[in-house]
Structure 1
Amino acid sequence: MTDNTSEKPTTVTPNTALIAQWQSIPLYLRIVMALVLGVVVGIVLGPEAAVLSVPGKLVLRLLGALAPPLILAAIIHTFMTTHLGGPLAARLPRLLLLNTLVAITVGLTVANVFEPGRGAGLTPPSPHEEATKAANPLAIFLENVPKSLLGPLGDDGKVIGVIFIAVAFGMALRKERERPIMTVGHLVEVFLDALIKILHWIIAVVPLAVFGIVASIIGSQGVAQFKALGIFVLCVLLALVIQAAYYLIRIRFGSWVSPVQLLRGGRDALVMAFSTASSTATMPVTYAALRDRVGLREQSAGMGALVGANFNNDGTALYEAMAALFIAQMIGMDLSLQQQMMVVLTSMIASVGAAGIPEAGLVTMTMVFSAVGLPVEYIPVLLTVDWFLDRCRTAINVMGDMNVSCLLDGKQKQESIP
C-alpha cells in the first residue's frame, strides 16, 4: 500500500525565501542591522517608539524562563558525560576555580575603578510608568508569558503560560518522539536537546529585541547612553588583556612551557576561537595544538582542552560580572559588596557547562542580572557590542584551557605516556 502523503513537493513561497535569506545572515550582522534601524526609528518616532520595547521584553522574558533549566540540564549533562580520572584530576578543579575567581575579580576591579556606565543617565521604568501600561493589551499579553519554566505549573496557575510551555516542548520534541530512552543519560540528553532547540528559536528573534529596545531608548532618552558603550568595550578589553597576562605569568613560573612557545604553538586555536566564537568547536584544534605543537603530554592536553573546556569559561564569567556592574552604573544603582559577591557566585555557577550552549553569554546573563535585581530589558543594549566581545572572551576561554593544560604538565618536560 502506497502512502500518498509521504512524497509531497516542498512549496517555496516568497515569504519562506525571504526568511531563509534573513537566517543565512550571521547573527552578529543581523544584530548590527537591527541596531542601526533601531537608532533611525528611535530618532524619527521619538517618545512614540516606547511601544516597540514590548517585543524585546517578550524575547527577554522567554530567555529568562529558559535560562535556569537550560543551565541545570547543561551542568548535569557535563558532569554525567565528562570522564574525570587519573592523578591530574585532583588538581584540575582547583586550577579551574582559581582561574575563574581571578577572572571575575579582574572584571569587577576594572569596572569599579573606571566606572564605564557612570553618568550615562539611563532611566529604569518607574512603578508609575508600569502602572499606566497595565491597560495595554501587549503588556497584558507579556504578563502571561511565564517568567520561569515551572511557574505556570505552580502557584501562579496562568493557563496561557502552561500553553506556551506545552506548545514549545511539543514542537521541539516532534522529531524526537521515536528516540529510544534506555538510560538516565539519554533522558537528560533529550531534555537538553529540546531546550537548545527552543533556544535557537528565541535567538532567531533576538535582533527584533535589539531593534525594539534600542529604538525605545533612543526615542525616549536620546543617544547619550550609547556613548558609554565605547568606554565599556575598552574596559572589557583591558580586563581580558590582564587575564591573559595572568595566564602567561602562571605558565612562566608554573610550567616548563614558555609563554612565547605557547602563543606560537596555540595561535591556530586562538584564531579559530576568535573567528567562530565557540570554545566547543575549537576544542579539537586546541588539543591538537597543545599535543603536537607545544609538546604537552596527551593526558595534560586532554584534561585541559577537552575536560576543562566544559567547566572553564573565564572570559565569559569576567564579562558577565562587568556587564552587570556596567548596567547598574548606567541606571544609577549601586551594587553592594554582598550583591557583587552574588554576581561572582552566579557567574561561576552559570559558566559551568556553558561551553555547549549556543550564545551562552546571552543565556547566563539573564541569570546574573536576575540574581541581583537588575532589569534584564537592558541586555539588548549590551548585545549591540556583544558580537565583538564574544569573540574576544572566547579566545580568553581557550587560553584558559591552555593555561590549565600547561600547569598540569608540570615544571619539567616529561615523555609522553602512550
Structure 2
Amino acid sequence: MTTDTHGGHGMSLTMKIMIAMGAGIVVGVIFNQINNNFINTQIVAGLFGMIGKMFVNALKMLVVPLVFFSLLGGVTGIGDVRVLGRVGTKSFFLYLATTALAITIAIALASLIGPGKGFDMQGIDTSGVTGREAPTVWSVFANIVPTNPIAAFANGEMLQVIFYTVVLGVAVLMLGAKSEGFIAACSYMNDLMMKVVAIVMHFAPYGVFCLIAKTFAEQGIGLFLPVMAYVITLVAALFIHLFITLPTMLKVLAGLNPLTFMRKMRPAQIFAFSTASSNATIPVTYRSVTERVGVDKSIASFCIPFGATINMDGTAIMQGVATVFLANVYAIDLGLGGYLTVIGMAVLASIGTAGVPGVGLVMLTMVLSQVGLPIEGIAIILGVDRLMDMIRTAVNITGDAVVTSIVAKGEGKIDLDVFNDPDAGIVDDDEVEMPHDHVA
C-alpha cells in the first residue's frame, strides 16, 4: 500500500483505507474457510489481533487530550457563556431527537418485517448472559459531575471530562486578560494533538486491514444464516437512518448538500466501521468536520465529543430491532406501551453509556429487563453483534457530524467555501513526512 509522493500528491488516505478494508474482508473470509489452527492462533488472533489492538489503542490514546485541549479552545473561542449555553442546548436536544427518531424507525420497520417469528431455538446456548440494572434519569445526570477530575480523565469518562472542561473554560473566560498565555498554550497543545492524529492516521490502512480481517476470519458468514431476518431488518433500518433521515435533516435544517457532506465524511465512517468505537473515532470525526466540512473548531470541539458520548443513533436502532426480534422469538406481545418504554429507555441509556465496542449489548440488557423480555435471548444475536456494531458505529458518528453541522450553520460558524471545495482537507502521505533539514 505504498504511494508515489514525488511530484504531486499520492493516493488519498481514504482510498488506501477502503482498499485495506476490502482486502481485509477477502483475507478474513479465506482464512475462515481454511480454518487452520496455526493461522487461527498465530496470524488471526496473534498478529492481526496485536496490530488491530495497537491501532485502536493509539486512537483512544488521543481522545482525552484532544477533547480537553480542543474543547478548552472551543469554549474560550466562543468567548460568550450565553452562546456556549445556546450551542450546548441546541446540540443536546438535536441529539436526543435523532436518537428518538432512529429507534422509532427501527421499531416501525421491525414490526412491519416481523423478524424472529417461528424462530428455532435449538442449538442456541442462552446461558452466561447477565443483565444490568437500568439507571434512573436522576443518576444519569448526577454522574455527569465528576468527584475526581483526574480519575475521569484516566478512565475516559467523556461526559465528566466534557463537564469539567466546560467549567474550566468558563473560569478561564472570567479571568479575562490574565488567561491569554494559558489560551495560547492550549491552542498550541491542540495543534500538537492534531499532528499526533496525523501520525497515527499514517498507519491507519494497516490497522483497518488487521481489524477487518480478524473479524471476518473469526465470525465467517455462517453465523448470519439463523438470524438472517434480524440482520436484514437491522441493516435496512440503519441504512434508512443513514441515507434518508440524517441527510434530510441536514438539508431541511441547515440547507447543506447531503451528497457533498456524505462524501466528505467517508474517512470517519470507515474508521468508525473498522474500530466499532465512537470514542476512538473522535479524532477522525473532528478532523473531517473541521477540515473537510468547514465547521468552526469552536463548535466542533464541543459538539463532536458530546455527540460521541450521548448520541447513539445506531445503537438505538439495534435495540429497537433486537427488542421486536426477541419479542417475536418468545411470542410476547409488547404492545404500544412496551414500545414507548423501549424508546424512552434507549434515549436515556444512550446519554449515560460510553461509546466503546459492545456497549450496545449492555444497554440492551437494561431495555429487555425493563419490558420483561428474557435477557438470555441476547445470546441469539451475540454472534453477529460485532459486525452489526461496526455498521451502527458508522451511523452514530454520522449523526454526530450532522448535528454539529446543523448547529454550526445556525450559529454562522461554517465555512461554505471549504464545504463546497471537494479537495478541502484531503489527507495524504505528504502530511506526515518528517522534515529532512534539522533546525539548529
Please indicate, yes or no, whether the TM-score normalized by the shorter chain is above 0.5: yes
Distance 1:378 1:25 in 2: 31
The equivalent of 1:237 in structure 2 is 235
Determine the structure 2 residue equivalent to 1:254: 253
CA contact (8 A) 1:309 1:401 kept: yes
- The CA distance in 2 between the partners of 1:147 and 1:106, in whole Å, is 26
SS of the residue 1:296 aligns to = coil
**Partner SS for 2:279:** helix
CA distance in 1, matches of 2:97, 2:323: 21
- Indicate the residue corresponding to 2:328 in structure 1: 329
Contact 2:299 2:413 in 1 (8 A): no
TM-aligned CA distance change 1:354 to 1:239, over 3 Å: same
Residues 117-171 of structure 1, C-alpha deviations (whole Å, 9 max, x = no match): 1121548x9xxxxxxxxxxxxx9xx9xx99779xxxxxxxxxxxxxxxxxxxxxx
1:30-58: CA deviations, max 9, x gaps? xxxxxxxxxxxxxxxxxxxxxxxxxxxxx
Equivalent residue for 2:362?
363
Counterpart check, 1:101 vs 2:100:
yes
Is the 1:122–1:331 contact (alpha carbons within 8 Å) kept by the matching residues of 2?
A: no
Partners of 1:256 and 1:413 within 8 A in 2: no
Q: 1:22 to 1:264 in 2, by over 3 A?
A: closer
Which residue identity is paired with 2:404? S
Letter in structure 2 aligned against 1:392: I
By how many angstroms is 1:295 displaced?
1.0
- The alpha-carbon distance between structure 1 residues 324 and 279, as it changes in their structure 2 partners (threshold 3 A), is same
> 1:311, 1:257 → 2: CA distance?
24
How do 1:56-205 and structure 2 match up within 5 A? 85-122=84-121, 183-186=147-150
Structure 1: gaps of 5 or more residues: 1-17, 30-80, 126-138, 150-181, 194-222
Identify the residue that residue 133 of structure 1 maps to in structure 2. Answer: none
Indicate yes or no: 2:380 matched with 1:381. Answer: yes
Is residue 276–residue 391 contact of structure 1 (8 Å, CA) maintained in 2? yes
Does residue 350 (structure 1) correspond to residue 349 (structure 2)? The answer is yes
CA distance in 1, matches of 2:400, 2:410: 17
Secondary structure at the counterpart of residue 119 of structure 1:
coil
In structure 2, C-alpha distance between the alignment counterparts of 1:227 and 1:341, rounded to whole Å: 30
Query: 1:5 matched to which residue of 2?
Result: none
Structure 1 148/121 Cα, relative in aligned 2: closer, same or farther at 3 Å?
A: closer
Name the CA shift for 1:112/1:368 in 2 (closer, same or farther; >3 Å). Answer: same
Aligned to 1:279: 278
Map 1:265-344 → 2, pairs under 5 A: 265-344=264-343
RMSD: 3.8
Alpha-carbon offset, residue 239 of structure 1: 0.6
In the alignment, the residues of structure 1 paired with residue 332 and residue 400 of structure 2 have an alpha-carbon distance, to the nearest angstrom, of 35
Superposed displacement of residue 362, structure 1: 1.9
Aligned to 1:134: none
CA distance in 1 between counterparts of 2:330 and 2:154 reads: 40
Query: CA contact under 8 A between 1:256 and 1:412: conserved in structure 2?
Result: no
* Aligned AA (1:115): G
Offset of residue 290 of structure 1: 0.9
Q: How far apart in 1 are the matches of 2:334 and 2:403? A: 32
Contact conserved, 2:99 with 2:347, CA < 8 A, in 1?
A: yes
Q: What is the CA deviation profile of residues 261-318 of structure 1, one whole-angstrom value per residue up to 9, with x for unaligned ones?
A: 2112111101111111111111111111111111112233223322222110111011
**In 2: Cα distance, 1:241 partner to 1:402 partner:** 16
Give CA-to-partner distance per residue, 1:73-94, whole Å, 9 cap, x none.
Answer: xxxxxxxx99893431221121
Structure 1 counterpart of 2:233, one-letter code = C
Q: Which residue number in structure 2 is paired with residue 64 of structure 1? A: none
Letter in 2 for 1:290: V
Pick which of 318-327 and 106-115 moved more.
318-327
Report the alpha carbon displacement of residue 320 of structure 1 after superposing the two structures with TM.
1.0
Residue type of the alignment partner of 1:230: M
Distance 2:282 2:117 in 1: 38
Alpha carbons of structure 1 residues 96 and 248: separation in structure 2 relative to 1, 3 Å? same
Which residue in 1 is equivalent to 2:438? none
Deviations 1:347-405 (A, max 9, x none): 11221243344421121111111111211112121111111111110000011001101
CA distance in 2, matches of 1:118, 1:303: 44
Kept in 2: contact 1:320–1:365 (CA 8 A): yes
1:355 aligned counterpart, secondary structure? coil
Q: Is the 8 A contact 1:271 1:395 kept in 2?
A: yes
How many angstroms does 1:322 deviate by? 1.0
Per-residue Cα deviation, 1:210-251 (whole angstroms, up to 9, x for no partner): xxxxxxxxxxxxx9x975511111111111111111110111
Instruction: From the superposition, tell whether residues 320 and 20 of structure 1 become closer, same or farther in structure 2 (CA, over 3 Å).
Output: same
SS in 2 for 1:368: helix
| TM-score, with structure 1 as normaliser | 0.56
Distance in 1 separating the partners of 2:396 and 2:114: 24
User: Is the contact made by 2:132 and 2:366 (CA closer than 8 Å) also made in structure 1?
Assistant: no
Q: Is the 8 A contact 2:107 2:320 kept in 1?
A: yes
One-letter code aligned to 1:379? I
Q: Residue 10 of structure 1 aligns with which residue?
A: none
Q: What is the one-letter code of the residue matched to 1:236?
A: L
The one-letter code of the counterpart of 1:292 is E
Is the partner of 1:349 in helix, strand or coil?
helix
Aligned counterparts of 1:291 and 1:189: Cα–Cα separation in 2: 24
The residue aligned with 2:390 is: 391
Q: Distance in 1 between matches of 2:314 and 2:406?
A: 19
TM-score of the superposition, structure 2-length normalised?
0.54
Separation in structure 1 between the aligned mates of residue 348 and residue 377 of structure 2, nearest angstrom: 22
- SS of equivalent to 2:354: helix
Q: What secondary structure sits across from 1:279 in the alignment?
A: coil
Q: Structure 1's 301 and 147: CA in aligned 2 closer, same or farther, altered over 3 A?
A: closer
